[in-house]
Amino acid sequence: MRLKGRTVAIGSALAASALALSLVPANASSELPSAETAKADALVEQLPAGMVDAMERDLGVPAGEVGNQLVAEHEAAVLEESLSEDLSGYAGSWIVEGTTEHVVATTDRAEAAEIAAAGATATVVEHSLAELEAVKEILDEAATANPADAAPVWYVDVTTNEVVVLASDVPAAEAFVAASGADASTVRVERSNESPQPFYDLVGGDAYYIGGGRCSIGFSVRQGSTPGFVTAGHCGSVGNATTGFNRVSQGTFRGSWFPGRDMAWVAVNSNWTPTSLVRNSGSGVRVTGSTQATVGSSICRSGSTTGWRCGTIQQHNTSVTYPQGTITGVTRTSACAQPGDSGGSFVSGTQAQGVTSGGSGNCTFGGTTFHQPVNPILSQYGLTLVRS
């Protein structure tokens, strides 16, 4: 186990064995083929102005380059999906911050040529993604058995080829890792002031109410012929009735899982018609799918408290301990949120990503937000995403 700032053996091995074989062009519309430029322009036209402005403001994407960024990120996500199945030594992938360069890691040097041929940068590392996720699962099991001993946040960091544990009390976090039985040589404990809590009473699209509480609709779905929407599990329990933003009778929670996960779905009555729209203050984006974006990609969320806010995907498959217990499998992002945004929609371009779970900080001083990925919710409850 290593603390940030100390010499890291794995990091040294990475530096020595990294293979930079093929770079993806950085943001430069002049280098894009005309077909790609047209695709980028068409994508931007589907996005609300507020979301585009937020990407330029929060991520520093130059004006006019948002479409190019999103096209490159979506292509990286599609390639990641393919290579994760094809490469026996697959160790994750990510987009280098501030660029559109897509890096793919593998433990097998012989697979580097295949990665380069696919148009990505190849890096050879020590541990496969499966190995690191197995270590993380040991920590997940330990937190479930002894939630009081759990650190606030832990995840597989594909960019450093480690499992990272964030905690304000480093000795306690080290003890947690040691007691879990996980291979400490693959774990880095990092001091952090994050103190995540669920975001109750938050709106990411339209508001809905559960008794005296308020949350937000994530994405419209159907279970067979039954319409409904997905949201955060901490917003309600099975059987809880909901009313819409206009206080008209709306539906009932049919499934809810929290803690452990933070997922739920609500079946709605005939007063409500599901759409593919995610919006804030009248502007909206039509969801066209749910391909999970790559680490390092831009991501935006919409909430009634803070409007459109954007950041980057920091890690997938993160575990986080709230006061109510530990949840696993969430995605950690740098998009800020505040009370009033819970259950709401995270999107990358027009691809649905997840529903707002919780986080720390705020949109004045910066913050970290976790979302429950949407695809596991669809799988858990047998739902189909309503798409444009």
Catalytic sites, residue numbers: 234, 262, 342
> What SS3 state is found at 189?
strand
> What SS3 state is found at 162?
strand
Q: What is the token pair recorded at 123?
A: 């890096």
Q: What is the DSSP letter of 4?
A: T
Kind and range of the H or E element at 14?
Answer: helix 9-17
- The torsion angles phi and psi of 173, rounded to 5 degrees, stand at -65, -40
Q: What is the token pair recorded at 65?
A: 């380059």
Residue among 205, 256, 261 nearest 235 (CA)? 256
Contact 199, 220 (CB under 8 A): no
Kind and range of the H or E element at 219?
Answer: strand 219-223
- Looking from the CA of 271 toward its CB, the CA atoms found within 13 Å total 12
CA dist., res. 115 & res. 132, Å (int): 21
Q: What is the token pair recorded at 288?
A: 């066209």
In Å, the largest CA–CA distance within the chain is: 62
Query: CA dihedral defined by 134, 140, 144, 150, rounded to 10 degrees?
Result: 140
